[in-house]
Amino acid sequence: MTKTTETVGANTYQRIKRDIIFGTLKPGSKLKLETLKSNYSASHSTLRETLNRLTSEGFVEAPEQRGFLVPPVSQKDLKEIAELRIILESTALERSIKNGDTEWEGNLVAAHHKLHLIEKKIQEGDYTQKEAWKRYDWEFHLALIQACGSKNLLALHEILYDKYLRYQMLVLANRGEEAIAEHKEMLNAAIARDASAATEALKRHIEKGLEHTLEAF
C-alpha cells in the first residue's frame, strides 16, 4: 500500500467517523457505497476497508445481508457507554495522577484553559464552534489521563469517549456553569494529586452528563 493510499484511507476514516459522531450521518441510516463514493471521493475498496474498521470499533453495524448502517441509538446503550467510561477513565486517571510529572501538569493546565474559554462562549449562546468545544473537552479529558502509562487503555477510552460524544451531539447537551465547575474541580484535584477527589469528581461529571443527555434524548 502506498503512502498516498494510506493517507486517503485515513482521511476517509476520519471524515466518516466525524460525520457519524456529529450526526451528519443519522442513526439507523444505510451507508450505501455509491453514495459514500460520491460524498467522500473514495474508491469502493477504501470505503469497504473504512467501514469494516468502523464496524470493529462499533461506529458502524453490518447486519448479515443488509450492508452497512449507522448504529441506532438507545438509552440503554448510552447508559452502558457511560458506565464503561467511568470504569476506564477513573482507572486511567488514578494511574495518571500517580505517574504524572511537571510536563503533564503543564499540559493539563493548558488544556483546561482552552476548554474554559470556549465553554464561556457556549454559555453565552454561541454554538458556532461546537466541534472546537468538543475537541477541547476531549483534549482536557485526555490530558487528565495521558500519564496513565497504558496505550491500550488510552485507545479503549478514546473509542468510548467518541461513542458518548455521539449522543451528546444528537441533543447538543450543554450543562453550563455546572459542567464548568466540574472541570475545574477535576483539574484542582489532579494537580493536588488527590486521586480520590479527582475520580469522584470525574464520576459525578459523567453521571450528571448522562442524566442531562437522557432528559433531552
Smallest Cα–Cα separation from 213: which of 158, 174, 155, 159?
Answer: 174
Helices (H), the chain: 3-21, 33-40, 44-57, 75-99, 102-123, 130-145, 151-171, 177-191, 195-216
Asked if residues 60 and 40 have their Cβ atoms less than 8 Å apart, the reply is: no
Report residue 104 as a C-alpha cell.
503533564
Q: Is the pLDDT of residue 116 over 60?
A: yes
pLDDT band at 216 (very low <50, low <70, confident <90, very high): confident
5 or 174: whose pLDDT is higher? 174
- pLDDT, tens digit (0-9, with 9 covering 90-100), for 38-60: 999 999 999 999 999 999 999 99
Smallest Cα–Cα separation from 190: which of 114, 100, 66?
Answer: 100
DSSP assignments along 188-214, one per residue: HHHHTT-HHHHHHHHHHHHHHHHHHHH
Largest Cα span, the chain: 54
Q: Is the pLDDT of residue 109 over 70?
A: yes
Determine the angle formed by the axes of helices 151-171 and 3-21, rounding to 10 degrees: 50
Asked if residues 131 and 120 have their Cβ atoms less than 8 Å apart, the reply is: no
Q: Is the pLDDT of residue 96 over 60?
A: yes
Report the C-alpha gap between 60 and 16 in whole angstroms.
10
- Confidence (pLDDT) at 3: 52
Percent of the chain with pLDDT over 90: 77
Asked if residues 203 and 93 have their Cβ atoms less than 8 Å apart, the reply is: no
Q: Is the pLDDT of residue 2 over 60?
A: no
- pLDDT, tens digit (0-9, with 9 covering 90-100), for 163-202: 999 998 888 766 778 999 999 999 999 999 999 999 999 9
Give the rounded distance of the alpha carbon of 36 from its chain centre: 23
Smallest Cα–Cα separation from 191: which of 117, 104, 132, 83?
Answer: 104
pLDDT band at 215 (very low <50, low <70, confident <90, very high): confident
pLDDT band at 120 (very low <50, low <70, confident <90, very high): confident
Asked if residues 147 and 171 have their Cβ atoms less than 8 Å apart, the reply is: no
